[in-house]
Amino acid sequence: MTDAIRDGTTQGQLTLTRREMLAAAAAAAIAAACSPALPSGGGPTGGSTAPVRGGIARLPIFNEPFPLNPIISNELSSLLVRRSLYSYLTRLDPVSKRPVPDLAKTWEVSPNGLVWTFNLRDDVSWHDEMPFTAEDVKFTFEQILEPKNTSVERTNYLDMTKIEAIDKYTVRFTLKNPLMSLPVISGATVGIVPKHLLEGKDLRTATSFNNEKPIGTGPFKIVSVVPGSHVEMAAYDKFYRGKPFLDGVVWKIVPDVNARFAQLKAQELDYMTIEPSQLQGIQGDSRFTLTEYAAPEYTYFIPRHGTPIFSDKRVRQALVYGLNRQAILDVAALGKGTLMVGTIPPALKDWHNSALKPYPFDPAKAKSLLDEAGWTAGASGMRAKGGTPLKFEISVDTTSAIRRQMAVLAQQMYRDIGMDASIKEVDRQIYSQMLQQKTFELNISNTPHSWDPDTQRRFYITNGGSNFGAYTNTKVDDLLNRGVQEVDVEKRKALYRELQEVMYEDVHVVHGYHPTELRVTSTKLKGLPDLPLRDVMTYMDTWWLEK
């Protein structure tokens, strides 16, 4: 017997029976099979006027978005384009920040958390007008679990023992351990792909589908792909929630942040997330609307664990104590953000450990830790151990002025405590390869977080699909596994609070800050719900342009 999920209230704010608590822990609640209604003008950039049809929205991405196959891609530019190309089992509600129906009308979880049943819409078609069925969902998750596809999502679903298409519009997942984050994490990243086009193919070499003619069920379909220039999409007339208001979307490939901003100011773009240094350039400009979000993400330094320098926890702790992170936040980001204490952002209010406080800037403590670890300062002030200099490279990609500035500031601060840090600046494609292949030493990165703490497992469990720093800690592994398997909400919260305490002390990453997302839109662009960048794209069918 299963429990139908029927309440979308945020976890931790309900008095529930065990049966109801299972439903709340599992994901959100669905009282009806329809999506949440938006105001006619839609969210913060809406208005009182009714939506009108027509127009092309122009949006920037900072590198080529290939592959456009969600099974094998981990690039942000690809993710943004894919959010309107594919559909997901669930999507995020703008108000509750809980999962609500998308391809799935309703879902159920068994009392022990081991069996999930998703009931699917029966009115969905692919962009080639073939019908969408449960077989497509089954195929998608099977391809994620297929080792040769090396999907970064695979770690999340390793406990799945059986995936069944019960009938044409019902799919069932059976697990050996509970996966209480399933409706959240599947809605965050798992775009469903077409079985009829990809079955029997090697997904990693399916060039036509991946780079030229991907087919989804989302509100917009691919018209053309021009490498180095743009991706053009058109509204899909048979989209299951109704034809989008926009005629189409053009994603312009603009690697340089200043060039993107110049195009925004010239009204060649309708939407852009800007850097704090660019605020002055749009403030008071009536052509644009600025929206600020405390987004669930973090900007930080990833040490490659296992390297001789960073394998010592004392050195990692010195990396944090030696950084004046408030100065970095104030100078590089003009104070738009909050200091990190870990990798579960404050935006996840029910899961963030607010008892932890940011590491202080304490160069004397950093030097003491380095002395204790055997890295002694020479006449020049630079440190060495057994003849080996304390020397490493900070890698940063060219798409963000903030992260480039962070690298320069960190370089000087580390040299002040005897660490010889150099900077390696690379283009985004090379940067992504360095992450995947773990060929960096200390990397400056920005990571989005889903609205469930289980995101941590993919990034920080041993051999996780996105564990770019090769971090390994048996206590962390245990807590990550227990956290996603615990069906009791309060016990689950306690496990994640403990997890944050362990990782805080172990310095699994070098803390940076949680940035404030600064979204600038043309005042003519309406219908965007109150969600940050990666989530707002799943509502592109509600966007419209004022005439």
Residue 278 covered by a domain: no
Task: Identify the pLDDT of residue 400.
Answer: 87
Question: How confident is the model at residue 48, as a pLDDT?
Answer: 53
Residues 16 and 97 in one domain: yes
Same domain, residue pair 47 and 106:
yes
pLDDT tens digit at each of 547 positions of the chain: 333 332 323 332 222 233 333 333 333 333 233 333 333 334 445 455 899 999 999 999 999 999 999 999 988 899 999 999 999 999 999 999 999 999 999 999 999 999 999 999 999 999 999 999 999 999 999 999 999 999 989 999 999 999 999 999 999 999 999 999 999 999 988 999 999 999 999 999 999 999 999 999 999 999 999 999 999 999 999 999 999 999 999 999 999 999 999 999 999 999 999 999 999 999 999 999 999 999 899 999 999 998 999 999 999 999 999 999 999 999 999 999 999 999 999 999 999 999 999 999 999 999 999 999 999 999 999 999 999 999 999 999 988 889 999 999 999 999 999 999 999 999 988 998 999 999 999 999 999 999 999 999 999 999 999 999 999 999 999 999 999 999 999 999 999 999 999 999 999 999 999 999 999 999 999 999 999 998 999 999 999 999 9
Same domain, residue pair 175 and 50: yes
Q: Indicate whether 35 and 129 sit together in one domain.
A: yes
The H or E element that residue 320 is part of is helix 313-321
Helix, strand or coil, per DSSP, at residue 313: helix
- 513 and 528: one domain? no
In a domain, 343, yes or no: yes
The span from the CA of 473 to the CA of 461, in Å, is 8
Question: Looking at the domain assignment, is residue 229 inside a domain?
Answer: no
Classify residue 91 as exposed, middle or buried by CB count within 10 Å of its CB (0-12, 13-18, 19+): buried
Residue 248 lies in a domain: no
Do 491 and 529 belong to one domain? no
pLDDT at residue number 521:
98
Residues 443 and 528 in one domain: no
Are residues 184 and 304 located together in one domain of the fold? no
Whether the predicted model's global pTM rises above the 0.95 cut: no
Q: What angle do CA 271, 83, 449 make, to 5 degrees?
A: 90
- CATH, residue 144: 3.90.76.10
Q: Which two tokens stand for residue 168?
A: 């044409």
Strand arrangement, sheet containing 160-167:
3-4, 104-109, 115-120, 170-175, 160-167
In a domain, 252, yes or no: no
Residues 478 and 533 in one domain: no
Give the domain range for residue 199. Answer: 3-212+524-545
175 and 54 assigned to the same domain: yes
The strand pair at 510-522 and 337-339 is best described as antiparallel
| Residue 51 in tokens | 């939506």
- Return phi, psi of residue 350, to 5°: -75, -15
Which residue is it, tokens 């559909």? Answer: 87
Report the largest interatomic distance among the alpha carbons of the chain, rounded to a whole angstrom: 74
Q: What is the 3-state secondary structure (H, E, C) of 226-253?
A: ECCCEEEEEECCCCCCCCCCCCEEEEEE
199 and 301 housed in the same domain = no
For the record, the structure tokens of 166 come out as 């019960």
- Residue 267 maps to a domain: no
Residue 239's contacts (CB-CB under 8 Å, 6 or more residues apart) are: 217, 218, 219, 541
How far, in Å, are 11, 199, 377, 466, 513 from residue 509 at the CA level? 28, 39, 25, 13, 12
Quick check: is 255 in a domain? no
As for how many domains the chain has, the answer is: 2
Whether 332 and 512 have beta carbons less than 8 Å apart is answered as no
Q: In terms of domains, do 23 and 65 share one?
A: yes
pLDDT at 44: 45
Domain of residue 394, CATH code: 3.10.105.10
Q: How far apart are CA 282 and CA 261, in angstroms?
A: 10
Which residue(s) pair with 383 in the sheet?
A: 377
pLDDT of residue 458: 92
Domain annotation covers residue 236 = no
Give the pLDDT confidence score for residue 428 in this predicted structure: 87
